[in-house]
Amino acid sequence: MKLAQTELEGVIVVEPRVFEDPRGFFMETFHRDRYEELGIRDDFCQDNLSFSGRNTLRGLHYQFPHAQAKLVQVLQGEIFDVAVDIRRGSPTFGRAVGVTLSEGNRRQLFIPKGFAHGFCVLSETALFAYKCSDFYAPDCDRGVLWSDPAIGIQWPASNPLLSAKDQRLPLLKDIPPEQLPIF
């Protein structure tokens, strides 16, 4: 496995080892001991699967206080995946990193606790899988507006398909500090 640290400390691109032959390919998508050796020590307890059409944008989501680390990957299609540092006191607070994940590159992205997460579908459809380190807690569901100008994410869709909830999320500057994780 190869690891690539992004410009946001702790947000890691994982390139699993893939074994290909004329029949297709095989790869491990998670092996606790190997991921721990790479520094990913979160105890994942919930797996989620999302299917979306082109230009769908989901996010930017986080949970507080029951923060979730996530290990995300695309099983089919292609997405632009984003992590935003929302930890109070962090030297990279409000900064984002974006990575293209696809069935072709088979990359994974590890997003630690304290980051908001979102993605936009680039292909006709995308099947997106992710592991979470804490269970979904509806009362802790939070988010940041996808188009927050202070964050300045260069999304690949100018007019994305959004849920009603995601359209109403606040700007990062308008979130009370007590509803943000601490660095």
Dihedral pair phi/psi, residue 149, rounded to 5°: -65, -25
Burial of 69 (0-12, 13-18, 19+ CB in 10 A): buried
Catalytic residues: 61, 130
Unique residue bearing structure tokens 């496995």: 1
Cα 89 from Cα 107, distance rounded (Å): 30
